[in-house]
């Protein structure tokens, strides 16, 4: 397997994240992290096989940019029958989340280091995710960084295609512009239908915990992938994202 890194449209991803991660994309190099729940399918065929088996063995929830992993670990703890996947570009945050997984004694979570725009189209099958979470994404304020935002109609269309019919897509932010961008982009994605709530109790993130303590306002927008007539039987038998009740903190 080569280390060449491409996006969903086949273009190179340099410039989409910045800094050290951009340099890793250029070389295909990934820091060595030894942990049974850390997978590097780009460089190891056995990890690619293991990740595929993990994704196909149970309902899957995926978080993009999990920070220190409070939400991810809380979700995995609350939904032991699900498999939870986290994607992150910062090595120190990957290690922090793996430590939290160990402390919680969980076996149903896996961590990948890399950009979702590269990893998702390569390793996650269409129509397969029960839930996809994008929590407090970087708003990328500077105009020259707009291309790094993950809330374009094209990107949301790709995300929606990964969800099973009825699957949940949720964005949470303290920046109104981020929520507005999500709503505007989703209006151009026929597969997504906005819903009032996720229909499930969700754990909080590290940032959310700080905001609650400081009374900083934040919000969220929720969508479900539309269910067509041909999808209704499969969606009903699969059990929607609302069939679980994840909640609580994990320290």
Is the Cβ–Cβ distance between 223 and 187 less than 8 Å?
Answer: no
Give the pLDDT score at 95: 95
Give the pLDDT score at 236: 53
CA distances from 175 to 148, 205, 217, 250 (A): 16, 15, 9, 26
Tens of pLDDT along the chain (251 residues)?
A: 343 333 433 344 444 344 454 455 544 556 678 899 999 998 889 999 999 999 999 999 999 999 999 999 999 999 999 999 999 999 999 999 999 999 999 999 999 998 898 899 999 999 999 999 999 987 654 556 556 677 889 999 999 999 999 999 999 999 999 999 999 999 999 999 999 999 999 999 999 999 999 999 999 999 999 987 666 655 555 554 445 555 444 33
Give the pLDDT score at 234: 53
State the CB neighbour count (10 A cutoff) for residue 128: 16
Q: Which of these, 69, 6, 14, lies nearest to 42 by C-alpha position?
A: 6
Joined tokens for residue 157: 């269309």
CA gap 11, 20 in Å, rounded: 19
Topology of domain 19-232, CATH: Rossmann fold (3.40.50)
CA distances from 196 to 140, 163, 170, 200 (A): 27, 18, 11, 11
- Domain ranges in the chain are 19-232
Report the predicted TM-score, pTM, of the whole model to 2 decimal places.
Answer: 0.82
β partners of residue 163: 129
What residues contact residue 241 under an 8 Å CB cut-off, 6+ apart? 59, 61, 130, 131, 166, 167, 168, 198, 199, 200
Joined tokens for residue 33: 């992290």
Is the Cβ–Cβ distance between 139 and 110 less than 8 Å?
Answer: no
Catalogue the active-site residues.
Answer: 138
β partners of residue 168: 131, 224
* Secondary-structure breakdown of the chain: helix, strand, coil percentages, each rounded to the nearest 5: 40, 20, 40
Is the Cβ–Cβ distance between 64 and 114 less than 8 Å?
Answer: no
> Dihedral of CA 12/17/19/25: which sign?
negative
Give the pLDDT score at 53: 97
φ, ψ of residue 192 to 5 degrees: the values are -100, 140
β partners of residue 134: 64, 171
CA gap 67, 206 in Å, rounded: 8
CA distances from 98 to 117, 130, 208, 223 (A): 22, 22, 20, 29
């Amino acid at each position: 397997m080569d280390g060449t890194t491409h996006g969903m449209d086949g273009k190179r991803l340099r410039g989409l994240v910045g800094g050290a991660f951009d340099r890793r994309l250029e070389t295909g190099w990934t820091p060595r992290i030894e942990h049974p729940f850390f997978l590097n399918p780009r460089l190891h065929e056995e990890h690619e096989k293991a990740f595929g088996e993990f994704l196909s063995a149970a309902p899957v929830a995926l978080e993009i940019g999990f920070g220190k992993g409070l939400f991810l670990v809380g979700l995995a703890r609350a939904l032991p029958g699900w498999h939870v996947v986290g994607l992150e570009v910062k090595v120190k945050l990957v290690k922090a989340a793996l430590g939290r997984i160990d402390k919680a004694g969980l076996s149903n979570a896996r961590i990948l280091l890399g950009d979702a725009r590269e990893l998702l189209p390569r390793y996650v099958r269409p129509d397969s995710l029960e839930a996809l979470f994008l929590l407090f994404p970087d708003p990328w304020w500077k105009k020259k960084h707009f291309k790094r935002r993950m809330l374009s109609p094209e990107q949301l269309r790709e995300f929606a295609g990964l969800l099973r019919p009825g699957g949940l897509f949720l964005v949470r932010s303290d920046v109104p512009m981020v929520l507005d961008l999500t709503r505007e982009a989703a209006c151009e994605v026929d597969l997504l239908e906005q819903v009032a709530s996720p229909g499930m109790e969700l754990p909080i993130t590290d940032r959310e915990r700080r905001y609650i303590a400081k009374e900083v306002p934040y919000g969220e927008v929720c969508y479900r992938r539309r269910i067509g007539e041909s999808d209704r039987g499969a969606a009903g038998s699969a059990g929607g994202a609302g069939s679980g009740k994840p909640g609580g903190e994990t320290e």
